[in-house]
Amino acid sequence: MENVFENNRTAWNEALGYHQKARGDSLQSGFENPDFTTFDRDCDQMQLHKIEAFGLRDKTIGQLPCNNGRELLSLMRYLGARAAYGFDISDTAIDEAKQFAEISGLSAIFERINILEISDKYNEMFDFIYISEGSLQWFPDLSAYFAVVSRLLKTGGHILIYEIHPFAYFFETGYTLGEPDIEKIPSYFDREPHSYPHGLDYVGGTEYEASECFWYMHKMSDIINAVLKSGFDLLEFEEYNIEMANTEAAKATDKLPLSYIISGKKR
């Protein structure tokens, strides 16, 4: 299992270089502006409204994984949070997050670590943990992941998951709507790891010979059950036809759920 995470660490370090090239200095210059946010899509207003209802001014928030910190810093500023902590397996992502924090003047803390190995010193520290699109697929065992989320949260703390729907991951395996053969649809019940042989550049779309990485499809019932069994009361579960990651999936917006929100409160 350790090889899975170390392989993914290498693959994400590699991918961040392509992301940085595609973005240029747009995020650096953005965070110089106190009004800048990366939550600038129409669908983001929906989730911000839900998060804001948790009352997080002067509270402690976290994100795991946090990628390059752009979302966590945007949330910290928008919510008026007192403290923010981001964790990610990628060295390059965390280095960039620290740079953005310095530019923005926000006192967020970022740590490079395997999420499953986050120190007990953070136990019951957080009032809110944010889980964003493309996070859960990198964890083979969701029970282990949500056990970490649960121990980091205070009793009464909240989570919000805004994620790619399991149905949308059919298209991540190369399946297209033009396929007439139903046998080519990946199994919804598949537990085997998948990879991205042409890279992880979802920013610029550059294809490259990528280091091997491993991601996993999870059934919606597995996601919800992992949340419930980790000590959370489910506050909301809603599915949307909002495409988040794949241009082929966008062709199915009137047919399939492509994203979802789950919010919960720790018992």
117-152 residue pLDDT tens: 999 999 999 999 999 999 999 999 999 999 999 999
The token pair at 96 is: 């960039």
pLDDT at 248: 64
What is the value of pTM for the model shown?
0.94
The pLDDT mean for the chain works out to: 93
Asked if the model's pLDDT at residue 31 lies above 90, the reply is yes
Listing DSSP states for 255-267 in one string gives TS--EEEEEEEE-
Which domains does the chain possess?
A: 2-266 (3.40.50.150)
Kindly indicate the confidence band of residue 65, based on its pLDDT and cuts at 50, 70 and 90.
Answer: very high
Mean pLDDT in residue range 28-56: 95
Backbone angles phi, psi at 73, to 5 degrees: -65, -40
Kindly indicate the confidence band of residue 249, based on its pLDDT and cuts at 50, 70 and 90.
Answer: low
- Helices (H), ranges, 156-233: 220-229
pLDDT at 251: 66
